[in-house]
Amino acid sequence: MSVVKAAFAVPLLAALITVAQAAAQPANTAVPPPPSAATEPAHRPLTTADVISTSAATDWRPLDPQNTLYLELPTGRVIIELNTEFAPHHAANIVALTREGYYNGTAIVRSQDNYVVQWADPDGKRPIKNAQKTLAAEFERTARGIPFTPLVDPDTYAPEVGFSDGFPTARDPKFGRAWLVHCYGMVGAGRDNDVDSGGGTELYVVTGHAPRHLDRNVTLVGRVVQGIEMLSDLPRGTGPLGFYEKPEQRVPIKSVRVAAMSPRLSARSWRCCVRIRQHSRHM
């Protein structure tokens, strides 16, 4: 080996030895172990119970007893809130039908799996006293002047969806229109082929998947706020579209009353009830 090569080889060999020795030695600073489940803060999404427990009184609104219905079934009470902002004429007509006792003694005639429960006069001969049999459809309204809390998720059936005073709602900002949507627990007024053939004598509740193709095709009049399980758990009808084929299969409706008509409910009791049953504007 030449002198020049030897001169370069010695320090290079020494450097390689130093690097190898350093790599073989443990590091002066220990690497901290990964955090365990016990040391990591718990992060979980909020539940409905969390939202309710932390809500303020201003986040809630009371049910209007003039537009709240008590549907009495053999298994208990179903409470329905009518919507006077989107379907004012239908809501008023349903209240009129209720006050004249039209629904008392009618029956649930249909329970279609994953779809709807419907009640009506099975014979179609019940007289109407002061209310109207049919009304002009109330499929949508102007979006101006109504509260709206949008959801961030995209929707197949509408440009925007969200809630208006607790009711599931869709909105089209381009045309300035808004309408209620068919979600679980929503109440609609059944009709025939003519869009203006409904009026509230036949009502249905969504008890399965959201049939959004019915939006702006059938007038939605309200929502169930308590007792939906008494409807969704009913035996399914075996006839076409879930209709009961035999009279004994139908579920009798004992009565339907406007909450304000209840003789057993004092003003103080009503205020206690609505604090339990009221629904948040933002839910």
Q: What is the pLDDT of residue 252?
A: 98
CA–CA distance, 94 with 187 (Å, rounded to integer): 12
Decide if 130 contacts 96 (C-beta within 8 A): yes
pLDDT in tens, the chain (283 residues): 443 333 334 444 444 444 445 445 554 555 566 666 555 566 788 898 888 899 888 888 899 999 999 999 999 999 999 999 999 999 999 999 999 999 999 999 999 999 999 999 999 999 999 999 999 999 999 999 999 999 999 999 999 999 999 999 999 999 999 999 999 999 999 999 999 999 999 999 999 999 999 999 999 999 999 999 999 999 999 999 999 999 999 999 999 999 998 765 555 555 655 565 555 444 4
Q: What are the tokens at 160?
A: 């925007």
CA 131, 134, 135, 138 dihedral sign is: positive
- DSSP state, residue 200: S
Whole-number CA gyration radius for the chain? 32
CA 9, 15, 16, 18 dihedral sign is: positive
CA–CA distance, 155 with 172 (Å, rounded to integer): 12
Beta-bridge partners for 79: 70, 226
Decide if 145 contacts 131 (C-beta within 8 A): no
Decide if 131 contacts 169 (C-beta within 8 A): no
Tokens 């990591």 sit on residue: 40
List, in sequence order, every beta strand (DSSP E) within the chain: 68-73, 76-82, 107-111, 116-120, 141-142, 149-150, 160-164, 167-172, 177-180, 186-189, 203-206, 220-226, 251-252, 255-258
Tokens 């080889």 sit on residue: 9
- DSSP state, residue 170: E
Cβ atoms < 10 Å from Cβ of 75: 13
Scored b (16 or more CB within 10 A) or e, 16-39 reads: eeeeeeeeeeeeeeeeeeeeeeee
CA–CA distance, 121 with 202 (Å, rounded to integer): 8
Distance of CA 205 to the CA centre of its chain: 12
Q: What is the pLDDT of residue 16?
A: 43
pTM of the model: 0.77
Q: What is the pLDDT of residue 36?
A: 60
CA–CA distance, 219 with 138 (Å, rounded to integer): 5
- DSSP state, residue 173: T
22: region left, alpha or beta (phi > 0 left; psi from -120 to 50 alpha): alpha
CA 249, 251, 254, 258 dihedral sign is: negative
Q: What are the tokens at 57?
A: 């009184």
Domain 58-277 adopts which CATH fold?
Cyclophilin (2.40.100)
Q: What is the pLDDT of residue 128?
A: 96
Q: What is the pLDDT of residue 156?
A: 95
CA–CA distance, 177 with 216 (Å, rounded to integer): 11
Q: What are the tokens at 215?
A: 């939006």
Q: What is the pLDDT of residue 282?
A: 47
